[in-house]
């Protein structure tokens, strides 16, 4: 299936020197100091009524702490949206001023920004630019394309098809250091950007640019997918204290300008244009607005707050808009898992909420390439020993305590059905699904070989189910879990890939309170002695003991996942 975009936006990153930017040639008889600034204005994409432009400005004079670039159009061009600059227009006059994060321009450095616009007739290039009122020397060699490029851009229907997937060197080293870990150390996993400081690297670790540079090395002459987890919403994970984040419920502007904007600027660097960048957008956020609010017994005040202030919807919409504007970025929105939104009263309402977020803050459904289920969860990929339509002793499988009236038994059936539902509410018909299989193998000695006894519907289901959790609502460091299907492209109808977005061996949360500067609280669902709450039908938590903070390495869990892997290692 082809993927058609009515408008593709392209941007360039804030860069030092001339990296990633085309800078005007200076005549040999003129010293560099005599040219105060140079401008490269390029039309990167053009169609019948619109265009995308990228502008790079190089400052050859004294350092600046703020800047403003101005130009005029000869035609009827109108700027409709932009990135990496505050753009305003009065008639034909355009002003692009710095954002809070890119106001500094050292002597000899460049700043790049981009925008989307409309036009009719001809789309003549501006001829004169000023930087802070001083006329710049314009590079007229960039120009617009003689023949407008294909507006579908470089996006492919399934980014995983025919591509390698990035192996995170930091995770790989931790896996390899474990006894037996070399068996899976070369598997691709997601890179989690779970704090603002993660963009530049935490405690000397790899930042986003370092990962993308490493990905270019791994890519060689092949196609390569890089998997990023966008995970820092205001009031993050309102129903799970272990994964709370650094931003308070009202800090939506900080999320936009200090988190999403810098990420978008890096991803849009032309240096990385040859990578297929898959973003998993905001794990465990939007479903909370459906299941954990209002008068439901599972309601949480913090989730009511996030529904009332709209910042989950705004944040996801903003992320989709900014990241979806980059031609080689593929956005996949987190869609929970079957044990969360597989029930009738959650299924349709969740699809509607996703549509609301996908059309907020300038985003459109064109900014959504697909959805991902089961991220950081444990639901079995496929239950083979019984079906949702089975009846035992006069009762439907849906009446069993385990299924509890859910419409789905496993992630594959849920993901395929939910994809159809999403299309029905207005998402593109060619969206694809990802399923995280990093921890849902449920192999080992406890894996049933066939159905349970037909004494009752409960013995039948409990005896045959692969998923050995006490309840599908249990989510933290589950005892008995194993590695699942290895990452692979196009494994089933409607499924773009099985992925390991959650790196095996990284904890879901600490089993006791641990002081930290990461904004992460202590959630009793990570305490093996906890007797539960309405969200897991008051079952024991099933969590492993002695676990560290979420995201930190948990050797005991890694060993258990390998031991219980299915397919076996």
* Cβ within 8 Å of residue 212, ≥6 positions away: 226, 266, 267, 271, 272, 275
Comparing CA positions, the residue from 266, 277, 357, 371 lying closest to residue 320 is 357
Contact between residue 89 and residue 17 where contact means Cβ atoms under 8 Å apart = no
Is residue 226 helix, strand or coil? Answer: strand
Beta strands in 21-109 (DSSP E): 37-46, 50-59, 68-72, 78-83, 86-90, 93-97
* Cβ within 8 Å of residue 565, ≥6 positions away: 441, 443, 444, 482, 483, 484
**Geometric angle at alpha carbon 90, from 87 and 91, rounded to 5°:** 125
Sign for the CA dihedral angle at 204, 205, 208, 213 comes to: positive
Catalytic site includes residue 390: no
End-to-end CA distance of the chain: 35
Beta strands in 128-179 (DSSP E): 129-131, 134-135, 137-139, 163-165
Choose, from 194, 467, 508, 523, the residue flagged as catalytic: 508
Is residue 267 helix, strand or coil? Answer: helix
Comparing CA positions, the residue from 307, 330, 341, 313 lying closest to residue 421 is 341
CA–CA gap between residue 244 and residue 518 (Å, rounded): 9
Comparing CA positions, the residue from 406, 411, 397, 561 lying closest to residue 464 is 397
CA–CA gap between residue 557 and residue 262 (Å, rounded): 34
Q: Do the bridges between strand 86-90 and strand 93-97 make them parallel or antiparallel, or are there none, so unpaired?
A: antiparallel
Burial of 555 (0-12, 13-18, 19+ CB in 10 A): middle
CA–CA gap between residue 349 and residue 371 (Å, rounded): 16
Catalytic site includes residue 139: no
Largest Cα separation within the chain, whole Å, is: 94
Choose, from 139, 261, 269, 284, the residue flagged as catalytic: 284
Classify the phi-psi angles of 404: left when phi > 0, otherwise alpha if psi is within -120 to 50, otherwise beta: left
Catalytic residues: 284, 508
């Amino acid at each position: 299936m082809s993927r058609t975009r009515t408008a593709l936006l392209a941007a360039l990153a804030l860069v030092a020197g001339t990296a990633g930017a085309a800078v005007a040639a200076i005549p040999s008889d003129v010293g560099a100091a005599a040219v105060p600034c140079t401008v490269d204005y390029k039309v990167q994409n053009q169609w019948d009524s619109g265009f995308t432009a990228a502008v790079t400005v190089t400052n050859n004079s004294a350092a600046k702490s703020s800047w403003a670039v101005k130009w005029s159009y000869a035609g009827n061009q109108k700027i409709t949206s932009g990135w990496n600059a505050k753009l305003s227009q009065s008639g034909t006059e355009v002003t692009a001023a710095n954002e809070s994060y890119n106001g500094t321009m050292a002597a000899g450095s460049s700043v790049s920004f981009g925008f989307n616009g409309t036009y009719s007739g001809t789309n003549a290039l501006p001829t004169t630019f000023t930087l802070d009122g001083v006329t710049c020397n314009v590079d007229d060699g960039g120009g617009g394309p003689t023949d407008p490029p294909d507006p579908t851009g470089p996006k492919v229907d399934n980014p995983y098809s025919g591509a390698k997937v990035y192996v995170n060197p930091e995770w790989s080293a931790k896996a390899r250091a474990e006894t037996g870990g070399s068996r899976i150390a070369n598997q691709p996993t997601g890179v989690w950007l779970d704090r603002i400081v993660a963009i530049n690297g935490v405690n000397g670790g790899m930042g986003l640019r370092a990962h993308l540079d490493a990905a270019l090395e791994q890519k060689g002459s092949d196609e390569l997918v890089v998997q990023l987890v966008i995970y820092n919403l205001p009031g993050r994970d309102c129903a799970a204290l272990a994964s709370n984040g650094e931003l308070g419920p009202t800090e939506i502007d900080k999320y936009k300008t200090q988190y999403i904007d810098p990420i978008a600027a890096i991803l849009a660097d032309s240096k990385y244009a040859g990578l297929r960048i898959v973003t998993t957008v905001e794990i465990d956020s939007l479903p909370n607005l459906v299941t954990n609010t209002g008068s439901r017994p599972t309601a949480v005040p913090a989730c009511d707050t996030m529904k009332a202030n709209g910042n989950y919807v705004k944040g996801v919409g903003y992320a989709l808009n900014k990241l979806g504007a980059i031609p080689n970025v593929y956005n996949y929105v987190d869609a929970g898992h079957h044990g969360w939104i597989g029930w009738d009263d959650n299924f349709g309402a969740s699809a509607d909420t996703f549509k609301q977020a996908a059309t907020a803050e300038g985003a459109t459904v064109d900014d959504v390439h697909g959805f991902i289920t089961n991220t950081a969860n444990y639901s079995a990929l496929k239950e083979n020993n019984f079906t949702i339509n089975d009846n035992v002793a006069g009762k439907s499988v849906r009446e069993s305590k385990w299924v509890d009236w859910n419409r789905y038994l496993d992630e594959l059936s849920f993901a395929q059905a939910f994809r159809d539902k999403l299309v029905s509410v207005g998402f593109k018909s060619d969206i694809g699904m990802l399923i995280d299989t990093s921890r849902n193998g449920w192999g080992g000695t406890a894996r049933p070989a066939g159905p349970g006894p037909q004494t009752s519907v409960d013995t039948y289901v409990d005896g045959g189910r692969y998923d050995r959790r006490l309840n599908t609502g249990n989510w933290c460091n589950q005892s008995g879990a194993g590695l699942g299907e290895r990452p692979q492209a196009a494994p089933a109808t409607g499924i773009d890939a099985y992925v390991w977005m959650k790196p095996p061996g990284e904890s879901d949360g600490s089993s006791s309170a641990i002081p930290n500067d990461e904004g992460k609280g202590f959630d009793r669902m990570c305490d093996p002695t906890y007797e539960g709450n309405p969200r897991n039908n008051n079952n024991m938590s099933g969590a492993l003991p002695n676990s560290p903070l979420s995201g930190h390495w948990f050797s005991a869990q890694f060993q258990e996942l390998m031991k219980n892997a299915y397919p076996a290692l």
